[in-house]
Each structure stands twice: as C-alpha cells, then as structure tokens.
C-alpha cells in the first residue's frame, strides 16, 4: 500500500531537476552572441548612448510594433545590446521599463532634426516668458507708450503675412507684459499692506 503512493518529495525533486535542465538547454545557444552579465560590467560607459545599435532597435521594433522605441533603446542599452533578452521580456509580457526622462537616445535625436521641439520629451526646465520672448528690455516701459491701445483691437488682421506675424507677436508680448505688471502691482499692494 505505502509503496504504491506517489512519493511527493521525490516528484518535486524530479520536477525541479527537469526545469533546470530545460533552462540550461535553452540558454545554451545565447552565450555565443553576448553574455549579458559580462558586457554590462565591461561596457565602455563613458558615452553609453553610443552603444545602442539602430539595427537591433529596428529588429525588436519590427517584431513588436506596439513597443515604444525609446523603451526598446533603454532596455537594449541596459542589457548591453542583448536583443534576445529584450525580445524575451516582450514575449513573456513582462513589458519594458519606462526610460527615465533624462534618457535621450542619440538615434532619436538625430532622426527628426526638422521638428522645432525635437521629440515629445519632457523638458526639465522652462525659461520664463520674459526670457523666452526676450522682453526684458520692455519691462520698464509704460503701457501707453509701448502701444497705442485703441489701435490693437481695431486692426487685428492684415492681408500682409509679415504684418500679421508682427501683430500676433505684439499681442503676445502685450499680454505677457500686462500680466506681469498687474501681478507686480498686486504684490506691491499686498506688501505695503503688510508693512503698514
């Protein structure tokens, strides 16, 4: 009776051995390509961005069109260009980590030089509007002297392209300067109230 029941510990050991054997068998072909752990340490980390091979990125991207290219690059860069590892992650549905905001793959940067704002990457710091539109020289000027106010709303559209551009720019500048003046006055008022 006792001899016929399945020996649980033995079965467990067998299953574990079987899994280990399988894993060993499937991982054998990869070391020839790139041992992932080795390259990570040895990688010339001076300029890590350079290490991304666009061909590898393309390979992965073609297999998984839905995967984000930046994430692919990020994963490839971290695992030392091991395409198999990246593909495995995607196949197993583990997904790729989101690259940090600071990560700027070189291939992405050069691929669209036409767009003014490069990629839709978050900018860590934004210049204030005064710096951005070069308005520091106009800050001190009075509103009445910088523009004849009644003139603006009347003539808001022109047949001339350049004139239109200028008018838009002026409306924009005026809006910013007026807001700044108003806020400054408000703060001055608050400060004097506190002071008195």
Positions in the binding site for another protein (CB under 8 A): 101, 116-117, 120-123, 126, 128-132, 136, 156-157, 161, 164-165, 167-168, 171-172, 175-176, 179-180, 182-184, 186-187
- Least distance from C-beta 95 to another protein, angstroms? 18
d(CA 185, CA 95): 53
- Least distance from C-beta 103 to another protein, angstroms? 13
Q: Which is nearer to another protein, 12 or 168 (CB)?
A: 168
Q: Which is nearer to another protein, 50 or 179 (CB)?
A: 179
Quick one: CA torsion of 106, 109, 113, 116, rounded to 10 degrees? Answer: -160
Q: Which is nearer to another protein, 94 or 123 (CB)?
A: 123
Q: Which is nearer to another protein, 23 or 132 (CB)?
A: 132
> Token digits for 2?
């006792």
- Do the Cβ atoms of 86 and 79 come closer than 8 Å? yes
What are φ and ψ of residue 183, in 5° steps? -65, -40
- Least distance from C-beta 148 to another protein, angstroms? 18
Terminal alpha carbon distance of the chain: 100
Which DSSP category does 84 fall into?
H
- Least distance from C-beta 153 to another protein, angstroms? 8
């Amino acid at each position: 009776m006792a001899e016929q029941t399945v020996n649980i510990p033995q079965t467990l050991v067998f299953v574990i051995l079987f899994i280990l054997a399988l894993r060993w068998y499937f991982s054998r072909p990869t070391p020839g390509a790139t041992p992932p752990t080795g390259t990570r340490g040895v990688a010339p980390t001076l300029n890590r961005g350079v290490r991304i091979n666009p061909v590898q990125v393309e390979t992965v991207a073609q297999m998984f069109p839905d995967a984000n290219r930046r994430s692919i690059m990020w994963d490839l860069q971290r695992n030392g260009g091991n395409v198999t590892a990246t593909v495995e992650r995607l196949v197993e549905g583990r997904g790729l980590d989101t690259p940090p905001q600071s990560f700027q793959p070189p291939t992405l940067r050069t691929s669209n030089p036409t767009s003014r704002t490069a990629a839709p990457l978050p900018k860590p710091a934004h210049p204030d509007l005064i710096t951005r539109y070069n308005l520091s020289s106009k800050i001190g000027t009075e509103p009445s002297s910088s523009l004849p106010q009644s003139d603006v709303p009347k003539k808001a559209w022109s047949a001339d392209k350049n004139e239109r551009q200028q008018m838009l720019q002026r409306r924009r500048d005026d809006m910013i300067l007026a807001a700044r003046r108003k806020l400054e006055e408000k703060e001055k008022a608050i400060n004097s109230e506190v002071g008195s």
